[in-house]
Amino acid sequence: MPIPTQTYEAILEQYSAAMRWMESLGIGLSPGRTAHYARVIQHWTDAYRTASEEEGRQIFPSFVSSMFEVFDFVSIHKAFASVPVHQLTSIIQKLQAAVNGPIDAADETPDSTAARNFLFEVAMAARAHLPERGIEAILDARSDTGVRLNDKKLWIECKRVTTARKIESNVRKASSQLEGLLAGQVGAGHRGIVALDISKILNRGDKIYVARGDNELLASVDRMMNQFIQEQSEIWQHVYQRRNKKIIGTLIRFSFMATSEARNLLVHTSQWALNPRLGVSHSDDQVLRQLVATLGSDS
């Protein structure tokens, strides 16, 4: 995972392009989250060089919270901008839902998570849509999203998990949904994957992770992911014991804002990992390895 280096001006330009594209798809951008993000980035783009310490304290939490979704919207635009509109019906519906919800991620409640849940589903599809590398999103998937990889169709159920104690219930629900879908598929090329976004377990959404330099940041991100899998994988492995053998693994993603003090650089950090189901076949293990290599690459 490379450390991205982009100016605030470049981020604002990319985000504005993403919003214009969404409007061209007929998505109504209410004066809520998406407009707020644009205002916050614009203000910080103009003010960060001269902002007082007090002004920085006031705007920075909102800026950090905004940047999570900004990068998701940008990645979605990059992935699907060249796809004909008539193929994006499901993506458009999810994006329309995704622009609603509370402005700050930290203000989410159990009743107001739907918007960001849909955003994760589309971001998952966008991350896996790289036709030039032989992997592409199934845009009309009956699961939350789907991926076509070689001769396999990978059906993915996505869950954003806000606390560690909710991991088991989310995995149970997602794997049950996959069982129902897999039961209706004809042929041997269908597999199921549970995808978990654990960002809010690590950070509610308005804090920044500080590292002394790029190498420390990269090492810390890897360590966080490895520790999470070591501590929690027993939960989903236990659930899978009674599930269809075609459910072959758990995909984990987290993202947060970090700063590399050596360069005084604010960066968006995103990490993906895949924990195979215990006893998975060699061929399915190879599929998972190829998938996570693509998801973790700098696309």
Length of the chain in terms of residues written? 299
* In a domain? residue 144: yes
Mean pLDDT to the nearest integer, 97-119: 85
What is the C-alpha separation between 179 and 167, in angstroms, rounded?
18
* In a domain? residue 271: yes
pLDDT above 70: percentage of residues in the chain: 87
What is the pLDDT confidence band of residue 245, given thresholds at 50, 70 and 90? very high
DSSP state of 32: T
Phi-psi category of 281—alpha, beta or left, where left has phi over 0 and alpha has psi -120 to 50?
beta
* In a domain? residue 215: yes
* In a domain? residue 136: yes
* In a domain? residue 1: no
What is the C-alpha separation between 214 and 49, in angstroms, rounded?
22
Write the pLDDT tens digit of every residue in 136-179.
999 999 999 999 998 899 999 999 998 999 999 999 999 999 99
* In a domain? residue 2: no
Domain count, the chain: 1
Q: Is the pLDDT of residue 276 over 90?
A: yes
- Which residues constitute the domain of residue 14? 8-295
* In a domain? residue 3: no
* In a domain? residue 262: yes
What is the pLDDT confidence band of residue 15, given thresholds at 50, 70 and 90? very high
Report the range of poorest mean pLDDT among 153-157, 225-229, 290-294.
Answer: 290-294
